[in-house]
Structure 1
């Protein structure tokens, strides 16, 4: 299939920004491959780089001002895509570009192999189908062919979505119970760690239930962005207007690493209590919105069957 290639809907400055980001990504990718000897690195290359999300949409101007640039890099080897650690240098280069002012937007990068993407398109996985139909190719190797996306039958979407909801939401509930247990024991760091896991699973629940795909990351801010793009109502769970609100979310976001590996993680009883309230709100919103969206699919199936 042929992807869109034009950026004409974006102002010239934003077009330049996107192109600069693409250049930084390829710079980081080349640095990652330098000196590698295994076959997957020696012959590895990016076959497609696709802009998707807010900035690929015609109504991009309605995107939040801090909305990140979202990119999908498609590579030619499964193993090259499978090891997230291989891409640390690339992501670090993009992050440094943003922190040092080379670019004005943060970048969120997903990496998949061409065979994985084509398998997902043939089977109608909504996340990949949306990117294929709405995304913009910033780079394409002439030899790389993407399959035409197929529509996932509503019954299968509903079946898979329900299964993913049960998996992710069930685990989230257990983590919330664990966080409450450690809160009662006055073990604030362990409560924060399990609260991170609860929120991570709730955000993944939204992505996997509705789009049948989620990010391979523990970064709570990135998972929140994805879930809130799929359902704006979820933004009510974690307000971020005040310094206190942003600080507490940052504590929970950092807990995954700092509680497990550090010795100096701190969160007050007041901060944890507020975070527990927000996680409970998130849990309610996720359960309500996912069930509503899945029920709507079931209703449509029933109407079609009786039509």
Structure 2
């Protein structure tokens, strides 16, 4: 069926690039019951193209504390590890003086630490790459995250803005510039974020049970 649909899409006059994600109904419903953010978003925002009337999508059910802790633990492990990998890539780019690339890698590490926080605390990952929004959302769950990126002075604001813009501008804007000193400062703040993420996520997971 998957290959038949792919062939039909390929022959379609619609030129929009389409990617198929295929799972059986039991797999999807297990994740909907446990409020998995990816499948929950699809159910909420997706457009139904065909309904055979043979299946029903599950509703979110109330999770017991052990299940909530297990999900939070898995999410933390996945996103914290992903952040660490991007931080290593930042270090590699920094060493060879590829500072724009280093800024992007550092942005991605930061975004993933915040994703770990939000998934552990709320079970949901915000659909944004904006570190300004993510930092406020994380601080809303745990005030200890508020001072991670201080913005009291113009220099602090400028450096945070360089990191915030790095998701797009460090890749596509030829005028984007960031210095070695600015990167070193931001990397120190990201390591502080890493430390707080580990501490407070583990504390939250323990609190579930």
Q: TM-score, normalised by structure 2?
A: 0.71
- The residue number in structure 2 matching 1:177 is 88
In the alignment, is residue 220 of structure 1 matched against residue 131 of structure 2? yes
1:180-203 deviation per Cα after TM superposition (whole angstroms, max 9, x unaligned): 111111111111000000000010
Is the 2:100–2:171 Cα contact (8 Å) retained in structure 1?
A: no
Once the 2 structures are TM-superposed, how far is the Cα of residue 217 of structure 1 from its aligned partner? 1.4
1:122-133 to 2 correspondences below 5 Å? 122-123=60-61
Hey, which bits of structure 1, 4+ residues long, moved more than 2 A? 75-80
1:76–1:190 CA distance, 2 compared to 1 (3 A): closer
Change (3 A) 1:152 1:240: same
Map 1:90-129 → 2, pairs under 5 A: 119=59, 122-123=60-61
Equivalence for 2:47? 79
Deviations 1:93-145 (Å, cap 9, x if unpaired)? xxxxxxxxxxxxxxxxxxxxxxx9x93xx32xxxxxxxxxxxxxxxxxxxxxx
- Answering whether residue 127 of structure 2 is matched by residue 159 of structure 1, we say no
Q: Does 1:279 align with 2:190?
A: yes
- CA–CA separation in structure 1 for the residues paired with 2:97 and 2:140: 35
- Summarize the alignment of residues 32-111 of structure 1 with structure 2, pairs less than 5 Å apart: 78-79=46-47
**In 1: Cα distance, 2:45 partner to 2:168 partner:** 30
Higher RCO (C-alpha under 8 Å, 6+ residues apart): 2
The two structures have a TM-score, normalised by structure 1, of 0.49
Q: Where does the alignment leave 5 or more consecutive residues of structure 2 unmatched?
A: 1-42, 49-56
1: CA distance between counterparts of 2:132 and 2:73? 25
1:261 counterpart residue number: 172
Query: 2:97: which partner in 1?
Result: 186
Local SS of the residue matching 1:213 = coil
The 1-side partners of 2:165 and 2:78 are apart by 24
Q: What's 1:64 paired with? A: none
Partner SS state of residue 241, structure 1: coil
CA-based RMSD: 2.1
- Determine the C-alpha separation between the residues in 2 that align with 1:262 and 1:239: 25
